[in-house]
């Protein structure tokens, strides 16, 4: 099942829907009302739906099957699936060996591949829609870099989650680009928060694919800039797999429904190229995880 957040031209209030086919969307709340179905969970936003867990799945399937009307996908404004996360986006650094190696020449001292996942976060205000423009703050920096990532969405709360139980806590996955202002990132040493938390620099979506429809161990992911491939890899090359990430992150830290975990980027980022490459105003950035979705964002000077 593919679940999305959207706005229509006739209603500015965000709503959540089910992708019924490649180009049609069922409005969950409106269709449930039309079918006279009482839903015992909140459908006003995505986190409410995620929190409902397994009890929501058969009702959503019934709505998708029985709804007498739907909406054209291309007539809707798609938002990030979770437009306003309740917590910062959790991120994993250096989770593809080749990406760790390509960054060695830019580190001031030798460093071994970490024994544990490297975690940082992005502020909630970074999150933007799958087709939104990305603001280019030239007065801040000219070193805006791309990072395609598969993002995991937590469905069941937990703390000290075992590796063997980790996937039971996953609701689904989505596509994310951990856009980073490299020189701002470096200003703060090993603390990456500011360079990764500039407003509107975390496009996400276009929907959440529920776990039953995605083979997370074998997903091709790529970044293209103006149609030119910059990153191309596969989730099978992750250094720490998703169960290991969840197990370590949840040690002493409660994960909650709607939490987002970006699982790391593969090699091919701009700053590690010779010469370095960075995004410029007017560039078209495409971020794809095959079988999950495609983001398309234009870089706009502001």
9-13, 64-68, 145-149, 233-237: lowest mean pLDDT where? 9-13
Q: Say if residue 97's pLDDT is above 90.
A: no
pLDDT class of 169 with cuts at 50, 70, 90:
very high
Domains of the chain and any CATH numbers: 2-78 (no CATH), 89-301 (3.90.850.10)
Q: Where are the alpha helices (DSSP H) in the chain?
A: 28-34, 46-52, 56-66, 97-102, 182-187, 242-249
pLDDT class of 157 with cuts at 50, 70, 90:
very high
pLDDT confidence of residue 190:
66
User: pTM value?
Assistant: 0.93
- Give burial (CB, 10 Å; 0-12/13-18/19+) of 96: buried
pLDDT confidence of residue 104:
59
Percent of the chain with pLDDT over 90: 83
Closest by Cα among 56, 81, 86, 69 to 2: 81
Q: What average pLDDT does this structure show over 59-71?
A: 96
Q: What average pLDDT does this structure show over 224-236?
A: 97
Q: Say if residue 189's pLDDT is above 70.
A: no
pLDDT class of 215 with cuts at 50, 70, 90:
confident
Q: What average pLDDT does this structure show over 48-53?
A: 94
Q: Where are the alpha helices (DSSP H) in 128-260?
A: 182-187, 242-249
Quick one: CA torsion of 186, 301, 124, 245, rounded to 10 degrees? -50
pLDDT confidence of residue 10:
85
Closest by Cα among 273, 290, 293, 156 to 236: 290
Count of alpha carbons within 13 Å of 266, Cβ hemisphere only?
Answer: 20
Q: If DSSP codes are grouped into helix, strand and coil, which group holds residue 224?
A: strand
Tokens of 218: 């074998």
pLDDT confidence of residue 56:
93
Task: Name, in order, each residue with C-beta under 8 angstroms of 281's C-beta and a sequence gap of 6 or more.
Answer: 136, 138, 299, 300, 301
pLDDT confidence of residue 263:
97
Pairwise CA distance, residues 80 & 16, whole Å: 11
pLDDT in tens, 260-271: 999 999 999 999
Tokens of 6: 């959207």
List residues bridging with 170 in a β-sheet: 154
User: Could you check whether the bond before residue 197 is cis, i.e. omega within 30 degrees of 0?
Assistant: no
pLDDT confidence of residue 115:
86
List residues bridging with 301 in a β-sheet: 136
pLDDT confidence of residue 281:
98
pLDDT confidence of residue 188:
66
Tokens of 181: 């202002």
pLDDT confidence of residue 102:
62
Tokens of 283: 């560039």
pLDDT confidence of residue 27:
97
117 Cα distance to chain centroid:
18
- Give burial (CB, 10 Å; 0-12/13-18/19+) of 133: middle
pLDDT class of 108 with cuts at 50, 70, 90:
low
pLDDT confidence of residue 185:
80
Tokens of 265: 């980027």
Tokens of 292: 């999950």
pLDDT confidence of residue 98:
75
Q: Say if residue 136's pLDDT is above 60.
A: yes
pLDDT class of 186 with cuts at 50, 70, 90:
confident
Specify the higher pLDDT residue, 184 or 281. 281
CB 28 within 8 A of CB 18: yes
Pairwise CA distance, residues 27 & 52, whole Å: 17
Q: Say if residue 228's pLDDT is above 60.
A: yes
Tokens 């994310």 locate to 176
Q: How many CB atoms lie within 10 A of CB 192?
A: 20
């Amino acid at each position: 099942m593919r679940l999305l957040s959207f706005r229509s031209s006739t209603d500015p209030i965000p709503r959540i829907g089910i992708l019924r086919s490649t180009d049609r969307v069922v409005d969950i709340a409106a269709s449930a009302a039309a079918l006279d179905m009482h839903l015992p969970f909140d459908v006003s936003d995505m986190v409410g739906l995620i929190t409902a867990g397994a009890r929501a799945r058969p009702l959503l399937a019934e709505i998708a099957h029985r709804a007498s009307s739907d909406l054209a996908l291309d007539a809707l404004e798609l938002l990030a699936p979770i437009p306003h996360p309740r917590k910062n986006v959790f991120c994993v650094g250096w989770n593809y060996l080749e990406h760790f190696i390509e960054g060695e020449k830019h580190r001031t001292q030798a460093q071994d591949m970490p024994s544990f996942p490297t975690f940082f976060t992005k502020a909630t205000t970074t999150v933007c829609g799958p087709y939104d423009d990305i603001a280019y703050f030239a007065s801040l920096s000219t070193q805006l870099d791309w990072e395609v990532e598969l993002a995991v969405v937590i469905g069941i709360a937990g703390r000290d989650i075992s590796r063997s139980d980790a996937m039971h806590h996953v609701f689904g996955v989505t596509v994310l680009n951990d856009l980073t202002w490299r020189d701002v990132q470096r200003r703060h040493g090993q603390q990456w928060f500011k360079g990764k938390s500039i407003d509107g620099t975390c496009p996400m979506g276009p929907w959440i694919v529920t776990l039953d429809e995605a083979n997370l161990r074998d997903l091709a992911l790529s970044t293209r800039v103006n149609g030119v491939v910059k990153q191309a890899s596969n989730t099978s090359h992750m250094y720490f797999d998703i169960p290991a990430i969840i197990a370590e992150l949840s040690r002493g830290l409660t994960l909650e429904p709607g939490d987002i975990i970006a699982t790391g980027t593969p090699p091919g980022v701009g700053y590690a190229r010779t010469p370095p490459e960075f995004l410029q105003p007017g560039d078209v950035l495409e971020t794809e995880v095959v079988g999950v979705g495609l983001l398309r964002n234009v870089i706009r000077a502001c």
